[in-house]
Amino acid sequence: MTYSSSLAMNRSRFVARSQNSVSFRTKERTLGPISNTITLIILACLLGLLYLTQVTKTNAFGYQINNLQQTQAALVSEHNNLEVDSARAQSLNNVQNSPVAKAMTPVTATAVATN
């Protein structure tokens, strides 16, 4: 008796009576070459998809960085504009011609008492 026939015999015990069993499969079900190939191709595609998702995620950070840089540039520009406005408001010409300055007494020669 071979090993496979003994396996067959064991299986035969589980067969109900009067089922007219002709033979018992001794081999396990396996994938054929075409199925194997297709399965491998599908797995490879899945790996590729996985890679793409990771790369896309990284590139998405690139867009975020770009947006943040643009925001930063806009804020720097706004800061510069405010600095210019502030400098103009404080410029000597502006101050000199302001209503407050015009109301002041002009400078005259200084005389200092000495002993």
Interface ranges with another protein (CB under 8 A): 55, 58-59, 61-63, 65-66, 77-78, 80-81, 83-84, 87-88, 90-93, 96, 107-112, 114
What CA–CA distance (Å, rounded) separates 56 from 80? 36
Please, what is the minimum distance in Å from the beta carbon of residue 90 to another protein?
A: 7
Q: Decide if 24 contacts 8 (C-beta within 8 A).
A: yes
Which residue number, 9 or 60, has a Cβ lying nearer to another protein?
Answer: 60
- Give the DSSP letter string of 51-73: HHHHHHHHHHHHHHHHHHHHHHH
Which residue number, 30 or 93, has a Cβ lying nearer to another protein?
Answer: 93
Which residue number, 3 or 61, has a Cβ lying nearer to another protein?
Answer: 61
